[in-house]
């Protein structure tokens, strides 16, 4: 069974343990993004070596290519991508809004054309949940509409109410299996009362965990934190809380201090492919010429392959030469940094000293 246990509290922050069909995850946790059944520039073994025990896949991308039914016939997503640990699948709602072409939203769902080949599709709450079942996700996300930002209050309210009706249908469509659970997604834009209403509606429906969605899309960190603070008090204490699409190290720390347990973001992997490294001394641009003769590692306290085996000078050379190894090493480093950051926050919560914790 998927269960969640809070082991320690420090202010609003929690250290916990989340149990799934594919293992136990310590929270707060950062989930690497493996949108199309792969974490870019990483092997599954390499992802696990960073400390990750859960990653994110995506319904929209996988239903279009290679197809959910095909993945199921090939043994499910875990076997398909050789990842023995937990997987959370995003419902596809955000990608339908951001990537799909000629989309039409109705009470039924979203009709759209694929951004890959123009083929026609209809993604309903029921189809989204079924795709995630076919993939074999440990954690399924309810189908929702990610309200664009900025948007007027009336449009945000209409969108949120539609997402709540879709949440009810998603919950009904979900088939209970040992170790597999479904999370609801709070919407409401930048309006505290709409966030409260959405959170209360979802808890009435009853989910195994609750995500805070529709943020980190341009509203700024202060607003993201304000909406998180407005939402968390209305979510059950005994269920995990997931802030979707966040973010930079300072975002993670601030959200953990506000009671969030789970995160995902493309930032560490995308940064790894664009020569940016997160370190305990701050962010580095490895294209910068100042690294060309530097024999020091990226981060002397880091345990990753880039830091234990190579100099800044070598990594700079790989970047300038356009070598694939640059993306591989920098991505491994960034994911290790994020995993270690979360582990350090867990330790700080257990020791009651998270208030002292700051991003470099």
Rounded to whole angstroms, how far apart are CA atoms 5 and 2? 10
CB 359 within 8 A of CB 249: yes
- Residue 171 CA to its chain's centroid (Å): 21
Rounded to whole angstroms, how far apart are CA atoms 330 and 337? 10
Tokens of 155: 């449009």
Tell me how far apart the 2 most distant CA atoms of the chain are, in Å. 60
Coil, strand, or helix at residue 270?
Answer: helix
Rounded to whole angstroms, how far apart are CA atoms 253 and 28? 10
Residues 6+ apart with CB under 8 A from 265: 30, 33, 216, 245, 246, 247
Task: Give the residue numbers marked as catalytic.
Answer: 90, 264
Alpha helices in 304-355 (DSSP H): 305-309, 312-321, 324-351
- Provide DSSP, 74-95: TT-HHHHTT--SEEEEE-SHHH
**How many angstroms separate the Cα of 129 from the Cα of each of 89, 126, 166, 240?**
10, 5, 11, 20
Residues 6+ apart with CB under 8 A from 336: 49, 50, 51, 302, 303, 304
Strands 276-279 and 262-264: unpaired
CA 348-357-276 angle, to 5 degrees, is: 115
Strands 209-212 and 241-243: parallel
Residue 28 DSSP symbol: S
């Amino acid at each position: 069974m998927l269960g969640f246990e809070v082991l320690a509290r420090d202010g609003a922050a929690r250290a916990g343990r989340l149990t799934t069909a594919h293992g136990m995850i310590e929270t707060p946790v950062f989930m690497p993004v493996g949108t199309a059944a792969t974490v870019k520039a990483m092997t599954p073994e390499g992802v696990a070596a960073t400390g990750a025990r859960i990653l994110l896949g995506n319904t929209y991308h996988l239903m279009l290519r290679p197809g959910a039914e095909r993945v199921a016939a090939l043994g499910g997503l875990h076997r398909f991508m050789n990842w023995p640990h937990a997987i959370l699948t995003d419902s596809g709602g955000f990608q339908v809004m951001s990537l799909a072409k000629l989309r039409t939203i109705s009470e039924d769902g979203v009709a759209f054309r694929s951004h890959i080949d123009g083929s026609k599709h209809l993604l309903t709450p029921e189809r989204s949940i079924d795709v995630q079942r076919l993939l074999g996700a440990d954690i399924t996300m309810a189908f929702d509409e990610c309200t664009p930002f900025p948007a007027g209050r009336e449009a945000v309210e209409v969108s949120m109410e539609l997402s709540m009706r879709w949440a009810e249908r998603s919950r009904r469509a979900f088939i209970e299996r040992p170790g597999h659970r479904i999370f609801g997604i709070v919407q409401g834009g930048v309006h505290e009362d709409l966030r409260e209403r959405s959170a209360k509606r979802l808890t009435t429906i009853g989910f195994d965990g609750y995500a805070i969605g529709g943020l980190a899309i341009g509203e700024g960190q202060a607003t993201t934190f304000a909406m998180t603070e407005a939402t968390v008090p209305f979510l059950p204490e005994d269920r995990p809380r997931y802030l979707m699409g966040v973010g930079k190290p300072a975002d993670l720390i601030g959200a953990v201090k506000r009671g969030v347990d789970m995160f995902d973001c493309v930032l560490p992997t995308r940064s790894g492919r664009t020569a940016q490294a997160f370190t305990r001394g701050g962010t580095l641009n490895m294209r910068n010429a100042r690294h060309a003769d530097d024999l020091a590692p990226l981060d002397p306290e880091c345990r990753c392959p880039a830091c234990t085996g190579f100099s800044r000078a070598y990594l700079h050379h790989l970047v300038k030469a356009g070598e694939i190894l640059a993306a591989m090493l920098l991505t491994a480093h960034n994911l290790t940094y994020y995993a270690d950051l979360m582990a350090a926050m867990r330790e700080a919560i257990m020791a009651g000293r998270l208030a002292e914790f700051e991003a470099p």
